[in-house]
Chain A
Amino acid sequence: MTHSQLAIIGIHIVDYNKLLVWSVLVVGLFLAAFAPLPMLSPAPGEKLLRIEASQYAFTPAEIQVNPGDRVTVELVSTDVVHGLYIDRYDLSVEADPGQSSRLEFIADKGGSYRIRCNVTCGAMHPFMIGKIQVGRNNLLWRAIGLAIISAIGALVLFFFRASPRSDEASI
């Protein structure tokens, strides 16, 4: 009698292989998403960053600070009026042409965030973007882990579903 015939009469046989795969998959996804990652950052300190803004780029375009750093951003505009807005921190500063402005904050939110010009500065203004990374970009690494586990899981589960069960004929 096959599994499907047994199922019709109300007897459901547990497929331990599939259960094992699902269990490994769920545990793997959970770990990739939530497992604590080792802290590698040095002790927080003072950080002075001079950022030049010009149509349509920040220089440097990517900034790295440590979690807990007291950051001072000196924004210098080299052409028109520009702004600097930091995603998630919801902080901004503006600088007139040839002038500089300062913004101070404590980098207490880890991860990678976009910095954007928030003063209309020309055609490509909505895409004048830079990046600030506070510590490690954990979301990226977790996302990569989740992607790998999900892809492997999708393949293995398909293979399990498509393959005839090893014990199908023998029941």
Chain B
Amino acid sequence: MELTSFTLVKSALRSRWPQFILFAVLLVGFLLAIAAGFAGTPVGSRNFGIVFTWIAWWAILILVAVPLFGRGWCAVCPIPLAGEWLQRGRILGPQEQGHGITLNRRWPKRLRNIWMQNAAFVLVALFSSVILTTPLVSAAVLAGMLFLAIGLSMVFERRAFCRYLCPVSGFIGLYSQAAPLELRVIDRSVCASCQSKACYHGSQAGYGCPWGVFPGGLSKNTSCGLCMECLRTCPSDNISLHTRPFGADVIKPGGRRMDEAFKAFIMLGAAIIYAAVLLGPWGGLKTAAYQIGTPAWFGYAAAFLLFIFIILPLLFLAAVKLGQRLSLSREPWRKAFTTHSYALVPLGLLAWVAFSLSFVFTNASYIGISLSDPFGWGWDLFGTARLEWTPYLVDLLPLLQTGALILGLVWSVHTAAKLAAETRKDRSVLLQALPVAGFSVLVTFALMFLLL
């Protein structure tokens, strides 16, 4: 269904005001989260900075925004705003009227991938037990992201931070491939013959793609931030936002890369480790993850990195190679490894959904408390500051988690078969997909053991 065929939707997306209002609200929330982190109570569960970032925002992001809208969050994320405004010299309106502050350099060619986002995510993940629970540290990380985004906007063109460095953007990009929403051009030949390429370079109507993407060549969601600039600038009205089947990009041949493949392992591995550390009953593991700098933490960090970068990929490679042997495939192993790793995208996404369901709903009652008393100073703005901690949906959660994991598994197995069918026929498809499916089953068992 083409959403932009509805006049009201198209007008709302073209207008800068609805997006700006969302930006403004979220920016205020973001700055309040930083302020609360620095100035508020050190008790995480009573601090707006922790509760709104890691419970409310996270719930919206991973349970709704990413599965349904892909990079929908990126379209309203407040982190790059200040840098972008400075870069453009304008808050709203076309660029010709502004005088931006930026060196406008191009991002180095060697770094045009998501390896730095992978590294950034792993770095945050290694310290996550502290970041998730200590307001001061959480605020420092959020402020660091804000200033890094501003700094990069001053040096580089467009949204270099979002595209190449943001630890969140990396996994949103990967999982946006599974989302049932995409922005694409209607007719590629129109783009090929377009002289101005206003969607990329900008025009009186709007800015060139902040993500550095030429929409005429867009085939996957990964790098499209859904900012709607191209919808505003396209002189031929050739841009559409439409729904599509879930997982459409994952099974699209071409454009598969090793950095994205490793993103799939990082995310899947992190979901397993988080389920063990944060939701498991092992106190020693929690202490090791929390006490940064101690020998126990170094052991935890080493195990974390070993699991994500060595054990999971090697097990998966073994599964892929076994499939190749069974199906008598001569496809180069690197290509096969990269291609089949995309089968883990649905399982990874649903694993995060299953993990987050428990994490979010058992702690959601803190939202009302911190909303009324964001700094933990004894305020009671909305009469909810004295609410008791109450876990929600306790009866339903294990069933929802089971459903999410089984859905992810089935989706992954089906994707594995489709990926195998790209280069094989008949029985070979089954033989190639079988070990990958087996790997997915084992990962699902591990998650079930940890979550149920």
Report if A and B associate in a common complex: yes
Q: Is the CB of A147 within 8 A of B448?
A: yes
Q: A87-B391, A155-B430, A163-B426 are in contact. Are A140 and B449 (CB under 8 A)?
A: yes
Residue in contact with A124 in the complex, picked from B129, B362, B448, B452, CB distance below 8 Å: B129
Q: Is the CB of B406 within 8 A of A143?
A: yes
Q: Is the CB of B452 within 8 A of A140?
A: yes
Q: Is the CB of A155 within 8 A of B445?
A: no
Q: A124-B129, A127-B286 are in contact. Are A146 and B406 (CB under 8 A)?
A: yes
Q: Which residues from chain A contact B281 at a C-beta distance below 8 Å? A: 57-58, 61-62, 129-131
Q: Which residues from chain B contact A124 at a C-beta distance below 8 Å? A: 129, 133, 286, 290
Cβ-based interface call for B405 (8 A): yes
Q: Is the CB of A88 within 8 A of B402?
A: no
How large, as a class, is the contact surface on chain A? Answer: 35 or more
Cβ-based interface call for B348 (8 A): no
Interface centre among B281, B421, B434 (most CB of A within 10 A): B281
Q: Which residues from chain A contact B418 at a C-beta distance below 8 Å? A: 158
Report how far A140 CA is from B447 CA in the complex, Å.
Answer: 10
Chain A interface helix/strand/loop/mixed: mixed
Q: Is the CB of B398 within 8 A of A147?
A: no
Which residue from chain B places its CB closest to the CB of A87 in the assembled complex? B394
Q: Is the CB of B363 within 8 A of A126?
A: yes
Cβ-based interface call for B144 (8 A): no
Interface centre among A124, A146, A155, A162 (most CB of B within 10 A): A124
Cβ-based interface call for B70 (8 A): no
Q: Is the CB of B445 within 8 A of A123?
A: no
Cβ-based interface call for A139 (8 A): yes
B interface footprint on A124-137 (CB within 8 Å = 1, 0 otherwise): 11111111000001
Q: Is the CB of A143 within 8 A of B290?
A: no
Q: Is the CB of B430 within 8 A of A61?
A: no
Residue in contact with B283 in the complex, picked from A57, A123, A143, A154, CB distance below 8 Å: A57
Interface centre among A88, A112, A116, A154 (most CB of B within 10 A): A154
Cβ-based interface call for A100 (8 A): no
Q: A124-B133, A147-B444 are in contact. Are A159 and B290 (CB under 8 A)?
A: no
Q: Which residues from chain A contact B430 at a C-beta distance below 8 Å? A: 155, 159
CB distance from A160 to the nearest CB of B (A): 10
Cβ-based interface call for B278 (8 A): yes
Residue in contact with B45 in the complex, picked from A62, A85, A126, CB distance below 8 Å: A126
Which residue from chain A places its CB closest to the CB of B55 in the assembled complex? A126
CB distance from B41 to the nearest CB of A (A): 10
Which residue from chain B places its CB closest to the CB of A118 in the assembled complex? B389
Cβ-based interface call for B43 (8 A): yes
CB distance from B452 to the nearest CB of A (A): 5
CB distance from B9 to the nearest CB of A (A): 35
Q: Is the CB of B133 within 8 A of A139?
A: no
Q: Is the CB of A57 within 8 A of B284?
A: yes
Q: Is the CB of B441 within 8 A of A56?
A: no
Report how far A62 CA is from B449 CA in the complex, Å.
Answer: 13
Q: Is the CB of A150 within 8 A of B46?
A: no
Cβ-based interface call for A4 (8 A): no
Report how far A116 CA is from B444 CA in the complex, Å.
Answer: 25
Cβ-based interface call for A99 (8 A): no
Cβ-based interface call for B44 (8 A): yes
Supply 8 A–B pairs (Cβ within 8 Å), ascending by A: A56-B287, A123-B44, A140-B449, A144-B445, A147-B444, A151-B409, A154-B410, A154-B417
A-B contact sample (14 more), CB < 8 A, given A150-B409, A159-B430: A111-B398, A123-B133, A123-B134, A128-B283, A128-B286, A129-B281, A140-B452, A147-B409, A147-B445, A155-B434, A158-B418, A158-B429, A162-B417, A163-B426
Q: Nearest 9 pairs between A and B by C-beta?
A: A57-B283, A61-B281, A158-B417, A123-B133, A154-B413, A143-B402, A130-B281, A154-B410, A131-B281
Listed in ascending order, the chain B residues whose CB lies under 8 Å from chain A are 42-46, 129-130, 133-134, 277-284, 286-287, 290, 362-363, 366, 389, 391, 394-395, 398-399, 402, 405-406, 409-410, 413-414, 417-418, 421, 426, 429-430, 433-434, 437, 440-441, 444-445, 448-449, 452
